Homo-oligomer: A and B are copies of this chain.
Amino acid sequence: MRNSLLPCLSLLAAALATPAAAQQPKQPPLVIGSQGSFFVGGRDVRSDTLSVLSAYSASGTVTAEQMYVRYQVPVDAKRPPVVLIHGCCLTGKTWETTPDGRMGWDEYFVRKGYPTYVIDQVSRGRSAANPTLINSVRLGKTPPSETPPVFAVGHEAAWVIFRFGPDYPKVFEGMQFPLAAQGEFWKQMVADWIGTLPTPNPTVPALSELAIKLDGAILISHSQSGIYPFQAAALSTRGIAGIVSIEPGACPAATGDLTPYLQIPTLVLWGDYVDQSSRWAPRLKLCREFAAAVAKAGGKTELVVLPEIGIKGNSHMLMQDKNSLQLADWLTAWLDKHVAPKGP
């Protein structure tokens, strides 16, 4: 078996030229003051269906609903830090090296002087999901109809949701997403347990705790998590120094209580082709109504649709598009103006 696999492994190795090494332009060294990871939140859960395997006991206590956070603080860091919050079916990998091997926003913000905190949403990635209900179904204690609705999004559906084109596999003209590395993007997608979580999603209070712990943070969210910084602000505005909501799945209702949002510098940012998407066009419309309502009430929410300011071709995954660092430059300029971060 060993020998028969060798040619195969060689071919695989040749095909797998490290994207990160092969395509990333040479950068000056990155000088980090501190880095590490920790969790926010979490609660203990007792269960008798932890396992159906004889090697591991069925009964016991697990910790669930904690949020994983990985951070890097540059030397001579600015304040406040940024928190990068990924969207549906993805993890913190969203913000790291792009599918075609370019630098992600996680590193670029550090190079711009921002302490940068990348999270995995509760029950996703390195933030544990709770499998006890799955085992309960297997053991006949829970009916199959109550099996937890853990879902994956297929390439074909994701193509349209992420607005790479109008239908799979058609491509919007001028598309900035690095489609030549599409397969690397599909590898980023993970099963999504959000339908198994209580309301509000435990990621929301965890973000609030994190912002307070950091004594001020700019919450940068995306898509499914777009609403989370607003929901965190509704819990407490404490620690929320700014909100950047990139293509949110929802904005707060224009007719709701806008008080939590009036004092927080907020940007709601959209890419291109939105009016060609039956999923996203109504969401943009509702966000426009929210931004207008906040403005009318004297707040600081700005909504920007990139093609309306001359930046064209961006997909829903704009932090990975070919012009992603140009967008990061634009975004940090916006933050400089509206949140006014302080130097060291």
Contacts and interface: CB of A to CB of B under 8 A. Distances in A.
B145 A138 contact: yes
Interface centre among A18, A44, A183 (most CB of B within 10 A): A18
B62 A186 contact: yes
Contacts of A29: 31-33, 75
B32 A30 contact: yes
B93 A68 contact: yes
Interface in A109-154: 120, 125-126, 128-132, 134-135, 137-138, 140, 144-154
Interface string A1-43: 1100110011011001111110010010111111111111010
B189 A62 contact: yes
Interface string A38-71: 1110101001001111001101111100101011
Contact of A35 (B9, B63, B107): B107
Contacts of A157: 56-57, 60
A253 to B, nearest CB: 16
A128 B191 contact: yes
Contacts of A17: 213
B144 A12 contact: no
Nearest to A96: B37
Interface string A153-175: 11111000000000000000000
Interface residues of A, number: 102
Q: Helix, strand, loop or mixed for chain A's interface?
A: mixed
A150 to B, nearest CB: 4
Contacts of A44: 155, 186
A71 to B, nearest CB: 7
A12 B202 CA distance: 14
A138 B130 CA distance: 17
B63 A187 contact: yes
A132 to B, nearest CB: 7
A126 B238 CA distance: 31
Interface string A171-193: 00000000000011011111100
